[in-house]
Amino acid sequence: MPLRVVFADDNYLAREGVSALLAESEGIEIVDTAADLGSLMRSVAEHLPDVVLTDIRMPPTQTNEGIEAAKRIRAEHPGVGIVVLSQYVEEDYAFALLAEGAAGVGYLLKERVGDLDEIARALHEVAHGGSVLDPLVVEALLARRGTDGPLLGLTQRERAVLHEMATGRNNAAIAKTLFLSDRAVEKHIGSVFQKLGLVDEHEVSRRVMAVLAYLEASGTSR
């Protein structure tokens, strides 16, 4: 069965262009589009899609309607995944989106939409309860936060592995960067999950939640 998607963007050309692009994927069906927060919520209630793909800024205020939609959809339709798109790296919005849990949500930069395979993978991941966090957003967050607090129990090598996770690298890339074996990386990641209390979460969600713990370790000071 194809993945049923509702796409929201107040720009007509963007709605038509992205919808046409996603329609090229055999595993995705655009069941409806919306131009503002109100029409998006009505569409979700009517169609109950597998996942919503929405711009972060829409009428009526052109600020954080995508984040507001995500919160309301998670509360009213918990089975619907949601991926929020942002034109720029907006760290506070990323934290707001993930504050109530990472499962079934994603935050990507709009530039990813041009890559059909990447956006399709993100939609499928979120629709099945996983999480997607744009590597560029992670890098921006890393640049303004430290690594103490809850991470005091991690070894230096575990922190290094967690740092590489936060930049979006998979296990093979981490192993190559840190000159470790794949098995050693898996062992360090398992230890990180254990020390951060993430032993019972879905694999993808655990990675995102570990990264969030890393980013929030020194508080919310700017």
Joined together, the tokens standing for residue 70 give 């995500």
* pTM for the full predicted model: 0.70
Question: Which residues are within 8 A (CB) of 58 and not within 5 positions of it... i.e. 6 or more apart?
Answer: 8, 9, 10, 35, 36, 37, 40, 65, 66
CB 157 within 8 A of CB 164: no
Question: Tens digits of per-residue pLDDT, 154-179?
Answer: 888 988 888 888 766 788 889 998 99
Q: CA nearest 212: which of 122, 158, 142, 125?
A: 142
Give residue-wise pLDDT tens across range 100-143: 677 788 889 988 888 888 899 889 989 988 878 887 776 665 55
pLDDT of amino acid 203: 60
Taking residue 2's Cβ as centre, other Cβ atoms within 10 Å add up to 12
- pLDDT, residue 7, reads 97
- Distance of alpha carbon 58 from the chain centroid: 19
User: What mean pLDDT do residues 93-101 have?
Assistant: 75
Average pLDDT over residues 139-155: 62
pLDDT at residue 55, as a whole number = 95
